[in-house]
Structure 1
Amino acid sequence: MSAGTLVLPPELRARLRALRLRPRLASGASGIGQHASRSRGAGLEFAQYRAYEPGDELRQIDWKLYARSDRFFVRESERESPITVWLLLDATASAGQSDRGAPARSRLDHMRMLAACVCELALQQGDHFGLLTVTGDGLQLVPAAQGARQRDRVHLQLRALQPRGGWPARDTLRPLWERVRPGDLLLAIGDGFDDAGIVLLEQLASARREVLLLQVLTADERDFPFDAGHRFRDPETGEELLGDGAAIRADYLQRFTAAHTALHLRLQASGIASTTGWLDQPVDQPLQALFGRGGGA
């Protein structure tokens, strides 16, 4: 494994094997046959057998072969994938936030690992995938491609990211429209707090790009565990508010819940699937919600 690779723990890799990137618009609009790929168990034509590994779906096991050999084998299939997967990361200054209980792990660290999980899913399906990162300086791009070397290129860019600035001017994001084509699958990863970023997702969805939001929030934002006097600072604007945590907790939690619900209803109205992951939960939780059995994507 190269120095630029983000290491996914074995138990996380096992959980990812049960997931499939299942685009809705791309498969309906483009049909089958746009990009040849190898998919683990989601195919149309039989390709080969391999030994069963924890995390494989039971329906993929060849039970007749098990009866003859007394060993578990999984049927791998070959399918045609019509999608290119794009990751859009919000690496503005708020991505540097962390929880009081785990100050060494930032929102961006969590987002990096979540993006690495998506790369692994695209890689195991043989799909093209690319990376778009947004900071206060504008847009950075890793063009879409296939294979393990592409994964390493994306990982290197993810490792180099530093959170900074606020959401950039719209003109700086113009290359995004040149790269993300109608029918592509775009997974946005960020806190979802920048209204300009949400408007961008709505515009992409209305222009026949399939868009999903993987919202990443801190446990502190969810639970507001502050008491006594506390200085709250907006990392992007620098604005500060001095308040008594215990006194404002109830009002904050009510406002936060209302804003969180309103955001996801707004996205739903634009046909954008969304879910929220928290820094104190498994990094793949949003992917399980969207792409696991019964997921909404």
Structure 2
Amino acid sequence: MLSTPALLAHAAKLDLVIRHVLAGLGHGIHAGRERGAGVEFSEYRAYAPGDEWRRVDWKLLARADRYYVREAERDSHVAAWLWLDASASMAEPSYAIQGLDKLWYARTALACVAAIAQRQGDAFGLVVCGDGRAEVTPASRGPRQLQRVLAALARTSASGSLPAEEGMRTALRIAAAPAVVFAASDCLDWPSPLSEALQRLRHLRHDVRLLALRTQAEVDGSFPSGVAYREREALAATALHRLLPTDREAYRERVFQHFDGVAAHCRQHDIVLAQARIEEPLEAVLRGWLRPPAGRGARR
């Protein structure tokens, strides 16, 4: 498994990073199969009114004196929508790894998901939320679509705030058919137009999975003593802060309460939440984020 510093050494091209990460990732976004009348036999089940008679196994009827239907599996394609928070706070850097920030980690994770979707033959699209607007790359399939998405991610910078409700509403029109939605954000602005959009997508029966990213310093308040840090989306006059040693415990408590609220909101609306520090190896984080939710499976 490559560490984050090793990945940064290849950060000039997203597709090169993807090849390194996916080399050790053995599964995809969904099972890739659905039950029905297909070619490959899966299992038997009891006959139910409405089943086609041609699917009844007559030889088994002769032996068991009961009607059983042959279930089969066929390939299933699920659209994947990638949502990226590109607001100013995503430019927050790691104090432990030079050259690493939350936006780099988020867009690299989403690039890997796009590559997996392309490998599975699924359609995938991208929504970038930043600078007060939502930019949409419509969903499509194939290698050219992957290059379009990678290019859009590569040119994204963290700036401004999340789009207002109207901007998000425009982006919501893209996902008419059931899809898997992968959203990457630092969740500092929560509740927000992004949280409301994800909630709406879940209520529309999409499988929504949120990756909440923080730096190690944001998790435990390990900012260098006496060093001023900037609240990137606040007004300039109030954006500069200095965290003293005596402030760290109160800071950690506020952070814990905020993300506890984020987790509670996600549970309430059946949004799968994965939390990670950007200093963690990306492959391990992806494994947890891509794993089908327990009890729900791949939603179609």
Q: 1:143 deviation in Å?
A: 0.7
1:149 corresponds in structure 2 to 144
Count of residue correspondences: 249
Structure 2 CA distance for partners of 1:241 and 1:185, relative to 1, 3 Å: same
Q: Is the 8 A contact 2:18 2:112 kept in 1?
A: no
Q: 1:127 deviation in Å?
A: 0.5
Separation in structure 1 between the aligned mates of residue 260 and residue 39 of structure 2, nearest angstrom = 39
Structure 2 CA distance for partners of 1:243 and 1:151, relative to 1, 3 Å: same
Q: Is the 8 A contact 1:227 1:246 kept in 2?
A: no
1:192-214 alpha-carbon deviations (Å, 9 max, x no partner): 12221212211221122221101
Q: Is the 8 A contact 2:211 2:289 kept in 1?
A: no
Q: Is the 8 A contact 1:89 1:134 kept in 2?
A: yes
1:187-240 alpha-carbon deviations (Å, 9 max, x no partner): 111111222121221122112222110112111111211353232321011433
2:123 corresponds in structure 1 to 128
Q: Is the 8 A contact 1:218 1:279 kept in 2?
A: yes
Structure 2 CA distance for partners of 1:295 and 1:101, relative to 1, 3 Å: farther
How many percent identity over aligned positions?
26
CA-based RMSD of the aligned residues comes to 2.8
Q: 1:5 deviation in Å?
A: 4.9
Paired residue type of 1:161: T
CA radius of gyration, larger in: 2
Separation in structure 2 between the aligned mates of residue 200 and residue 206 of structure 1, nearest angstrom = 10
User: Helix, strand or coil for the counterpart of 1:208?
Assistant: coil
Paired residue type of 1:142: T
1:51 corresponds in structure 2 to none
User: Helix, strand or coil for the counterpart of 1:173?
Assistant: helix
Pairing partner for 2:114 from 109, 114, 119: 119
Separation in structure 2 between the aligned mates of residue 45 and residue 177 of structure 1, nearest angstrom = 36
Separation in structure 2 between the aligned mates of residue 202 and residue 142 of structure 1, nearest angstrom = 21
What TM-score, normalized by structure 2, do the two folds share? 0.74
Paired residue type of 2:271: I
Q: Is there any run of 5+ residues in structure 1 with no aligned partner, and where?
A: 34-42, 47-77
Separation in structure 2 between the aligned mates of residue 233 and residue 191 of structure 1, nearest angstrom = 15
Separation in structure 2 between the aligned mates of residue 146 and residue 97 of structure 1, nearest angstrom = 33
Moved more, 287-296 or 87-96: 287-296
Moved more, 113-122 or 206-215: 206-215
Moved more, 230-239 or 266-275: 230-239
2:28 corresponds in structure 1 to 20
Q: Is the 8 A contact 1:4 1:155 kept in 2?
A: no
Separation in structure 2 between the aligned mates of residue 242 and residue 264 of structure 1, nearest angstrom = 27
Structure 2 CA distance for partners of 1:32 and 1:103, relative to 1, 3 Å: same
* Pair 1:253-2:242 in alignment: no
1:8 corresponds in structure 2 to 17
